[in-house]
Amino acid sequence: MSFSTIFARGVAVIGGAALQLRRLTEGSPEPAWGSAPAIPAARPQGNIPTLKMPTARGWSPGQTPTAAPGLKVNAFAAGLDHPRWIEVLPNGDVLVAEAMSPDRPPRSVFDYAMVTTMRRADAMGVSANRITLLRDSDGDGVAETREVFLEGQNQPFGMALVGDTFYVGNTDGVVAFPYTAGASRITAPGRKLVEFKPAGHWTRSLLPSPDRRKLYAGVGSLTNIAENGMAVEEGRAAIYELDLASGSSRIFASGLRNAVGLAWEPQTGALWTVVNERDGLGDETPPDYLTSVQEGGFYGWPYCYWGQTVDDRVPQDPAAVAKALTPDYALGGHTASLGLCWVPAGTLPGFPDGMAIGQHGSWNRSTLSGYKLVFIPFANGKPAGPPRDILSGFLAADEKESYGRPVGVTLGADRRSLLMADDVGNVIWRVTGA
């Protein structure tokens, strides 16, 4: 038995004892969801934070997630290598970014525990660093063609096609490539539009503006609460706006610890995002969130959360706290909400206008949360009601294993289906009416 395996088991034993103690002393708080969530008081976890993540198992032959009543699910494509994000081209081709956190040496005893746990959960390893093209030529909901569309990237994630230019959000910046309609591969060299600091929260989502003149990009923080100082966080924890004509870029909104999925709400024209909040304060504290994004808005990180609730672990900036905006809708503590897609009424039977959200799932809480594709109904440009499951069943009942983990979600080419990336099951799932 390797030292890594022995250490991992030791971490699990210590972590299990800490989990039981926290359950006894803290109880089971109500899930922090909605526009006015009940967020428990912070309980800093200190040097032994809650560390709980299921072992990555994958799906057995014939096994699928559980679709909500009135819906059905099938594998659009399987056997991928950690698929994270999806882009559907005008001709119906589906592009999938395959990437993951690269393996690295641990930096401390706790980091060793974290790295060991991440490896077991299939959240760290050798990154494919490519974009794969999937084509469903006969329209049966299953891709028959699979080709390498673009390779040699640096943790590619967000993708966007604007005119005859294809943009890729690599962890170290946005790169533009010439694109010919219907092409199944890009071999031309790219041109970097903007550089971002890599590592940490490495995903770089992309979203064109409705007029196709600008591109928005999410850039997450390096650390949890700026524990390595604010200098290394400069230019991070933000959403960028890139002007495609001039090539200039600026920070559009800040204080967003890890803004991933981006989407437009069509009635108001507002930009929305899902944000992963900080760890180490309790099962439901603070919740991840879905929010509209104001130009120039500051959303609190690292000084405070859910408006102006101060995080005492962080050296404070009272002026920053005073201007912190409260998010629109809480998504539960540590759900790791990543994917975001506007879903027009009628896309799925029985579902009104709203947002679909891929919840990758927690590691920093005693009872796991997330591990679902959920739907938030909207009315008059705002969330309007409790969440609904679209897909569930990604976790074993005892929470020890995960069959899959939801990430990116988008509308299918037929506009009557959703496609969702599952980076543990290595599948693109397709959801339609039953």
Q: Is the pLDDT of residue 15 over 60?
A: no
Q: Is the pLDDT of residue 157 over 90?
A: yes
Q: Is the pLDDT of residue 255 over 80?
A: yes
Q: Confidence band (pLDDT; 50, 70, 90) for 48?
A: low
Burial class of residue 6 in the structure, from the number of CB atoms within 10 Å of its CB (0-12 exposed, 13-18 middle, 19+ buried) = exposed
pLDDT at 298: 98
What is the arithmetic mean of pLDDT over 270-277?
A: 98
CA distance 286 to 278: 7
Please state which of the ranges 23-27, 63-67, 336-340 shows the lowest mean pLDDT.
23-27
Other Cβ atoms closer than 10 A to 247: 11
Strand 401-402 and strand 55-56: the pairing is: parallel
Tokens 């991440």, located at residue: 118
What is the arithmetic mean of pLDDT over 383-409?
A: 96
What is the arithmetic mean of pLDDT over 361-366?
A: 86
More confident position, 148 or 5: 148
pLDDT at 173: 98
Taking a C-beta distance cutoff of 8 angstroms, is the pair 299, 291 a contact?
Answer: yes
User: Residue 371's closest CA among 328, 329, 411, 338?
Assistant: 338
Taking a C-beta distance cutoff of 8 angstroms, is the pair 418, 407 a contact?
Answer: no
Q: Is the pLDDT of residue 73 over 80?
A: yes
pLDDT at 364: 78
pLDDT at 113: 66
CA distance 255 to 267: 26
Q: Is the pLDDT of residue 105 over 80?
A: no
Q: Is the pLDDT of residue 419 over 80?
A: yes
pLDDT at 120: 78
Q: Would you list the domain boundaries of the chain? A: 3-28+47-433
pLDDT at 24: 55
pLDDT in tens, 106-144: 766 656 666 777 777 777 889 999 999 999 999 999 999
What is the arithmetic mean of pLDDT over 188-212?
A: 97
pLDDT at 116: 74
Q: Is the pLDDT of residue 94 over 80?
A: yes
Q: Confidence band (pLDDT; 50, 70, 90) for 151?
A: very high
CA distance 319 to 203: 29
pLDDT in tens, 300-339: 999 999 999 999 999 999 999 999 999 999 999 999 999 9
Taking a C-beta distance cutoff of 8 angstroms, is the pair 215, 207 a contact?
Answer: yes
pLDDT in tens, 230-250: 999 999 999 999 999 999 999
- When the pLDDT of each residue in the chain is averaged and rounded to a whole number, the result is 92
Q: Is the pLDDT of residue 410 over 80?
A: yes
pLDDT at 108: 64
Instruction: Give the containing element (helix H, strand E) for 340.
Output: strand 337-343
Q: Confidence band (pLDDT; 50, 70, 90) for 23?
A: low
Q: What is the DSSP annotation of 222-247?
A: SSSS-TT-SGGGTT-SEEEEEETTT-
Query: In terms of CATH, what superfamily is 3-28+47-433?
Result: TolB, C-terminal domain (2.120.10.30)
More confident position, 334 or 49: 334
Check residue 173 and report its DSSP letter: E
Q: E strands along 80-188, which residues?
A: 83-88, 94-98, 101-102, 124-125, 130-135, 145-150, 158-162, 165-170, 173-178
Please state which of the ranges 40-49, 218-227, 251-260, 291-300 shows the lowest mean pLDDT.
40-49
pLDDT in tens, 26-45: 557 789 999 999 999 999 87
pLDDT at 262: 98
Cα distances (Å, whole numbers) of residue 77 to 80, 96, 144: 8, 10, 8
